[in-house]
Chains A and B, each alone.
Chain A
Amino acid sequence: MSPKLRKFLEFCKDFSSNKVALVAFLIFLLILFVAIFAPLVSPTDPYDLNTVSIMNSRLPPFTEDFSGNYFLLGTDGAGRDMVSAIFYGLRVSLGVGVLSGIFALIIGSFFGISAAFFGGRYESLIMRIVDIQLSFPSILVALIILAAFGKGIEKTIIALILVQWAYYARTARSSALVEINKEYVDAARCLAFGNTRIMFKHILPNCMAPLIVVGTLQTAHAISLEATLSFLGLGLPITEPSLGLLIGNGFEYMYSGDFWISIFPGVALLITVASINLVGDHLRDMFNPRLH
């Protein structure tokens, strides 16, 4: 057995020792599957005008319409099947959250590692910007971007990247500072490797563990923030119905007692965010040397 595979299996065993985190991870895999294959697993296409009938609007859960379609979670104001709408919504929410997380990870670790590597004025400038940005609550940063530049999918992603990058930069810098003093970096310098090569081929892989922990927790936060912004009508447009938008749409029917239109998308959002948080929490404990 190759040492890499053995290490991976050991990691899996370690991870499964916490049953709650394991269950959370399996639930997250299921959600990911549903999100990726939404068109295949949904009972209907909620945005195909030929199959959606306004006659079916606001049907309660567990009902069947005249042509025999069964609505497990009811329908919304336009007669769309809630199950399908949630599956498609998960797709948008997870997509936006994960995409912004990846970009923020790239940008943040670039600035964090280079700050630690070069030091001096460059480092103090970057870290000052990080500090200033972290002193603003995430929703305020997003609000400034979206209020100033208007809503839209790219602007929402930009806002979410801006909210998150500083956390990655701070984490990357602090672990890079430790790595830089290790012998392999000296060895790489003696071999006259370029700075870029040392930073991203040698130091970065060794900083990945804490970055992944921050990544899981930040992605959960980004998904939740996107939902909030879309609910407020500042995030995604109606053409990209995320879970937040579905909840917002259901809000107006709340007072007439049609609870299912906004409750079920919210439950889906809660399960998604909570499962990612539980996995992230456990990963943090695993990578924390003080607890071993």
Chain B
Amino acid sequence: MTAFICTRFAQSILVLFIMSLLVFGGVNLVGDPVEMLINPEADQAEVERVIRELGLDRPVTEQYWYFLVNAFKGDLGSSFIFGEPALKLIIQRMPATLELALFSLFISLIIAIPLGIYAGYKPDSRVSKVIMASSILGFSMPTFWVGIIFIMIFAVQLGWLPSTGRGEIGTFMGINSSLFTLNGLSHVFLPALNLALFKISSVIRLTRAGTREIILQDYITFARSKGISEKRIVLIHVLKNILIPIVTVVGLEFGSLIAFSTVTETVFAWPGMGKLIIDSIYNLDRPVIVAYLMIIVTFFVFLNLIVDILYTFLDPRVRIKGDHQ
């Protein structure tokens, strides 16, 4: 058990190290930020001064070493554009991304679980077939294009909902979020629904498969023979048992919602981390690109480490295999 956790931990560190090498190496081979940052009319002395200031005159290996040392101190460099620490910029935008991801997770569960249970409960009905066909369509629709259509219909044509920005921000129990004001909610609704679309399709499939399995179990037959109403069977017995696998998978996929929010944030001009990274790539703002990629990779590596460790508690087979390695 301990051996297993240690191996996995060492692997995670190795992955992070390789990623840092890849990201830093790649970013430093591309483009010339000097050209973009310095006034074209600046003289040679000024150009050299700025290059020295940014540390761009040193060898790449030395730059990488300083980057690693500073990263351990929590300093991932300062943005070329904003002049502020990259880490601070990203953390400032993190709440916007998290609230978008959380809200879209909420929307996808509210929509997908009832539809999935229905499709699994009556698999041959016409409505179920429509639900399943729409879920294939949902898989096939490119998220960004659906976002554009949402903007066209609900913002441009009907004018019901705003299409850009985060709106008014309210404070509740010390947390600032646009989920706490009506104006903020109207802003978050379209992007969250857009981000949720893909998740809705996959949760429908998952719920349907689970329901079809559970409905055949002995305890459901037993509940029926006791004369419990069908409504109660579905709402209590089926729903409770189906929530366990759904919560596991959805919890795991929360990370992918954050990764995919780069697309939605760009379409809806949502001021989160995702929009920041896309803007930084346009501007060749190397420290922010490197910092974002490192933060999100670290996040994923540790998310997976935690999941792996949790599985060893839940599934003894994993534990035994790990000890023999």
Contacts and interface: CB of A to CB of B under 8 A. Distances in A.
A247 B145 contact: yes
Interface string A263-290: 1001001100110011001000000000
A224 B259 contact: no
A239 interface: no
Contacts of B154: none
B19 A144 contact: yes
B23 A148 contact: yes
A128 B11 contact: yes
B181 interface: no
B31 A135 contact: no
Query: Is the interface on chain A under 10, 10 to 19, 20 to 34, or 35 or more residues?
Result: 35 or more
A155 to B, nearest CB: 10
A251 B255 CA distance: 28
Given A234-B278, A266-B149, 7 more contacts: A135-B300, A143-B293, A144-B22, A147-B293, A233-B278, A247-B144, A254-B148
A224 B146 CA distance: 12
B152 interface: yes
B3 interface: no
Contacts of A224: 140, 142
Nearest to B266: A232
A270 B145 contact: yes
Query: Is the interface on chain B under 10, 10 to 19, 20 to 34, or 35 or more residues?
Result: 35 or more
Interface in B225-260: 255-256, 259-260
B213 to A, nearest CB: 14
Contact of B143 (A228, A233, A254, A277): A228
Interface of B: 11, 15, 19, 22-23, 25-27, 29-31, 136-137, 139-145, 148-149, 151-152, 156-157, 255-256, 259-260, 262-263, 266-267, 277-278, 281-282, 289, 293, 296-297, 300, 304, 325
A227 interface: yes
A231 B144 contact: yes
A144 B304 CA distance: 18
Interface of A: 124, 128, 132, 135-137, 139-140, 143-150, 220, 224, 227-228, 231-234, 244, 247, 250-251, 254-255, 257, 259, 262-263, 266, 269-270, 273-274, 277-278, 281
**B contact face: mostly helix, strand, loop, or mixed:** helix
A278 B136 contact: yes
Contacts, number: 119
A137 B293 contact: no
A274 B30 contact: no
A269 B156 CA distance: 23
B199 to A, nearest CB: 12
A58 B141 CA distance: 25
B278 A232 contact: yes
Contacts of A281: 136
Nearest to B28: A148
Contact of B15 (A132, A247, A262, A273): A132
Contact of B140 (A145, A233, A274): A274
Contact of A262 (B26, B141, B145): B145
A148 B260 contact: no
A251 B148 contact: yes
B281 to A, nearest CB: 5
